[in-house]
Chains A and B, each alone.
Chain A
Amino acid sequence: MIRVHRLVPHILLLVGLGTSALPAQTVRPLSKPVLDSLLQHRHGRPLLLNFWATWCEPCREEFPDLLTAAKEFAGKADIIAVSVDDRDDKESSVVPFLKGQKSTIPAFIADIHPVDSLINAVDRQWTGAIPLTILYDTLGVKRTVLKGQRTLAEFRSAIESLLKKR
Chain B
Amino acid sequence: MKTILTLFLTAFAMAGTPDTVENFTLNDYNGAPVELASFKDAKAVVLMFISTQCPVSNAYNERMAALHNDYASKNVVILGINSNKAESPDDIKQHAADKQFHFPILKDLHNVIADKLDANHTPEVFVLHPVSHAVLYHGRIDDAQREAKVTTKDLRAALDEILAGKPVTVKETKAFGCSIKREK
Contacts and interface: CB of A to CB of B under 8 A. Distances in A.
A53 interface: yes
A148 interface: yes
Interface string A81-92: 000101010000
Contacts of B145: 86
A97 B55 CA distance: 16
Interface stretch (A15-23, A30-38, A111-119): A111-119
A128 B121 contact: yes
Contacts of A130: 121, 176-179
A137 to B, nearest CB: 26
Interface string B42-62: 000000000001111000000
B179 A129 contact: yes
Contact of A114 (B53, B55, B143): B143
Interface string A54-98: 011110000000000000000000000000101010000000000
Nearest to B152: A114
B156 interface: no
A127 B120 contact: yes
Contact of B179 (A58, A84, A88, A119): A58
Interface size classification for chain A: 20 to 34
Nearest to B182: A148
Contacts, number: 61
B143 A115 contact: yes
B66 interface: no
Given A56-B178, A129-B177, A130-B179, 18 more contacts: A53-B176, A55-B55, A55-B56, A58-B181, A84-B176, A86-B146, A86-B149, A88-B146, A115-B143, A115-B176, A116-B173, A127-B120, A128-B120, A128-B121, A128-B140, A129-B176, A129-B180, A131-B179
Interface of B: 53-56, 120-121, 124, 140, 143-146, 149, 151-152, 173-181
23 contacts: A53-B176, A55-B54, A55-B178, A56-B178, A58-B178, A58-B179, A58-B181, A86-B145, A86-B149, A88-B146, A114-B152, A115-B143, A115-B144, A115-B174, A115-B175, A116-B173, A127-B120, A127-B174, A128-B121, A128-B140, A128-B175, A129-B120, A130-B178
